[in-house]
A and B are shown apart, each in its own frame.
Chain A
Amino acid sequence: MNRTFTFLPPLLGGAALIALIAWFLPSWNFVLAIGLAKGLPVLGLVLLMRGGLVSFGQGLYYALGGYTVGLASQYFGLKDAAALLVISAIGSALVAFVVGLLLSRYRDIFFAMLTLALSMLLYGILVKSTELGGTDGFNVHGITLFGIPLTGADRMNGLLLLIAVCVLGAINLGLFGATAFGRLLAGVRDNEIRVEYLGASADRAVLIAYVLAAVMAALGGAMSGIIVGHIDPEMAFWATSGEFVVIAILAGTGGVLAPFVAAVVLEVVRSFAYQYAPNTWQLVLGLIILALILFLPQGLSGLVRRGPRAVNAGEKS
């Protein structure tokens, strides 16, 4: 098998495993769905981290995806999931391209803070505009896929669609990682000036990665809107983006499967933590980050893969 596709067997195996778990434990499929929906933005974030960039504003596109679904179904009566997902992806790609032209000139803290500011911009608009639901957001009803219901009693269908989207997203990013631009990202992280000396454009690599990450986040937000049936401005709030960052650190930058594993694990842990210790959940998250940075800088994927050229969480080696 071509080396590019080595990520495929574990990915498909993981997808099948999740589907099986959801089939046998139907009460868990909501938690699994939330976890997977969060895994998509994290997948994009991990891609950015390979270039040494941490975005504290992926919530911007998570919310854009969610609100695209909400607004299109509410005001235009568009109820088909496939069309909604395509519109979300294209819309967020356009926004990300324009914003990315500005952002791709920045690195490190400035990149992090600018992305944060942009997501808070959207949050500010969403919270204050009553036409868009204000602080409460609004409900999303009856989204179907070619006539197949996806929510309520048929949530399993929604989960299967989500798994399919995740697999496609992971394959997409796995393939991108093997292209010239994908390989350039590690160079941007390690030594940007040398990348430029070689005749490649670091800014362009960052821009492409940023747009891809935005599309992933939008798909996650759109699927979350469809399955949860509700969207609110919290999706654009920086705490949401911060959570993606936590999951991304947990996942590490090693592979395309790890973001989903990390997101689902964290979501399952959270559902227990909320039950038994609702006021110490963030404390646990914080300790996890510190422990990971100190002891496991490559995240969960570092446990599986012990290559000599391992990549730290957004760190220049």
Chain B
Amino acid sequence: MNGLLGAVVDGILYSAWLFIIAVGLTLIYGVMKILNMAHGTFYAVGAYVAVTLLGWWFAQGLPPWGIVPVMILSALVAGLVLGVVVERGILARFAGRDPIVLLLVTYALFLILEDVIKLIWGVDPWIASDPLWVFGQVEFGELIYPTYNLFIVVVAAVVGGLLTWFLQFTAKGKILRAVIHDPEVSRSMGINVGRWNLIAFITGSVLAALGGAFTAPTISVVPGMGVEVVVMMFAVVVIGGLGSIPGTVVGALIVGFVRSFAVHYWPELEVFSVYAVMALVLAIRPQGLFAGVELRKI
């Protein structure tokens, strides 16, 4: 019974974590039609910035309730800097090229940023696990989790709620949906598509960094930590359908629970299971579970 409960709780936590990062990836794809291979590295940068700031915070002896604002601040800083530099400095120069060329450009970015991380933070692991137990613990039956781990679910819910509210219920959101639907016609209607590209890219980057910042205290932050994240996120967004937010929710839940159950009941299949599900979904519905039908353009 504890095994089942553990698998379910882990599945929820893991899905929430996947959602925060994957929704950034899908947002960038939806608006810019760029599948960002450097997304996992943005996540890693968020974690590094958070660990650095948290270390400073605790070294100053500042009160522990401040760590949540500190983590949000680190995500904003990391996401803004990366987003502006990468979008304006590099991606804007390749605008309008083939999707596959843009994929290669972001792969180059991934390689560059991985080394930039090593140059800035070195190759030794960074650890800031203090926040983990500051907020006490919760019990599910006999299972004990740090309360901190539940934050990620709250963050995921807030992120998903805000994005849905913005896209569906505000005027600006309507403009963004128009850009997602057809950038060319939007431009002819007087919408500044370039600015929306920048906004979407920054938002996506901040979300990746936010995922990294909230994960940082629970792991040791090491070079290369973004590599596996980005492949996992691809699985999530591809299962849900690229560019679809409800799809990302479903994709995150599927991947989260599949992996969590694999870890609890058949650990040998941990890595295998996620990609098997992804390959299965793609074989049946190549556009993903939730993406709309895309018209074939001649």
Contacts and interface: CB of A to CB of B under 8 A. Distances in A.
Q: Do A and B come from one complex?
A: yes
Interface of A: 52, 54, 102, 105-106, 108-110, 112-114, 116-118, 120-121, 123-125, 127-129, 191, 193, 238-239, 242, 245-246, 249, 279-283, 285-287, 289-290, 293-294, 312-316
Interface residues on B, range: 35 or more
A54 B97 CA distance: 15
15 contacts: A52-B100, A108-B99, A108-B100, A117-B234, A118-B275, A120-B275, A128-B269, A279-B115, A279-B123, A283-B112, A286-B111, A286-B112, A289-B108, A290-B105, A290-B112
Contact of A106 (B116, B118, B286): B286
Q: Interface majority SS on B: helix, strand, loop or mixed?
A: helix
B107 interface: yes
Given A128-B269, A290-B90, A282 B112 contact: yes
A315 B111 contact: no
Interface string B86-126: 00001001100111110111011111101110110001000
Nearest to A124: B271
Contacts of A283: 111-112, 114-116
Contacts of A124: 269-272, 274-275
B258 interface: no
Interface stretch (B8-16, B55-63, B146-154, B276-284): B276-284
Contacts of B100: 52, 54, 108-109, 112, 314-315
Interface in B213-251: 227, 231, 234-235, 238, 242
A125 B109 CA distance: 29
B293 to A, nearest CB: 14
A290 B104 CA distance: 8
A279 B98 contact: no
Interface of B: 35, 90, 93-94, 97-101, 103-105, 107-112, 114-116, 118-119, 123, 227, 231, 234-235, 238, 242, 267-272, 274-276, 278-279, 282-283, 286, 296, 298
A283 B234 CA distance: 23
Contact of B111 (A112, A289, A293): A289
What are the 3 closest A-B residue pairs judged by CB atoms, nearest first? Answer: A124-B271, A286-B111, A286-B112
A316 B298 CA distance: 13
B109 A286 contact: yes
B69 to A, nearest CB: 33
A193 B298 contact: yes
Interface hub of B93, B100, B105 (most chain A Cβ within 10 A): B100
